Chain A
Amino acid sequence: GDKVKQSPSALSLQEGTNSALRCNFSIAATTVQWFLQNPRGSLINLFYLVPGTKENGRLKSTFNSKESYSTLHIRDAQLEDSGTYFCAPSGSWQLIFGSGTQLTVMP
């Protein structure tokens, strides 16, 4: 099965609301990265995490290495937050991507 599972696969939010994305994985990850892929395909680095929590503006992410999961919280969603969010835990020489969460923020 998939080594990295993201949920939900798709999500629609009203502007100004909050949400959480989840990433469960079955590899021994030492770090986790979260990316936003914009419509042009560019991958924007959101977070690079060792076990613990980081916050950046309206985004907050946690990596729990003992239970092998990570979360990304979006507060006060804006239209420009729309896109596909990828979680990618890393172990050894591989960064393994989940299948992504497609987020649409509506006015």
Chain B
Amino acid sequence: GAGVSQSPSNKVTEKGKDVELRCDPISGHTALYWYRQSLGQGLEFLIYFQGNSAPDKSGLPSDRFSAERTGGSVSTLTIQRTQQEDSAVYLCASSTTGLAGGEQYFGPGTRLTVT
């Protein structure tokens, strides 16, 4: 079956512009996660969705970052007024439930470059 998909695969943007990153989870997966992978910080948790609600947004680095999930499926991560330090690979993962121990399936990521 189809795995987690993310779009775009690559995004180059100018400093100060807004960007939207999209994640399509595996059908039927209620839990969705966003992570960021950067050279200096490794892999970091950003936000967790259970259905359409986000019980944990603690990993979002600033108020320039926001995310939403509609219909319990597709999620969009928005970065406003991008900065060079936002350059990273943004990964999305989904899981059948949000419970601990559940396997998370990762998408291929969106590589964001802020110039």
Real binding pair: no
Interface residues, chain B, with chain A CB atoms under 8 Å away: none
Interface residues, chain A, with chain B CB atoms under 8 Å away: none
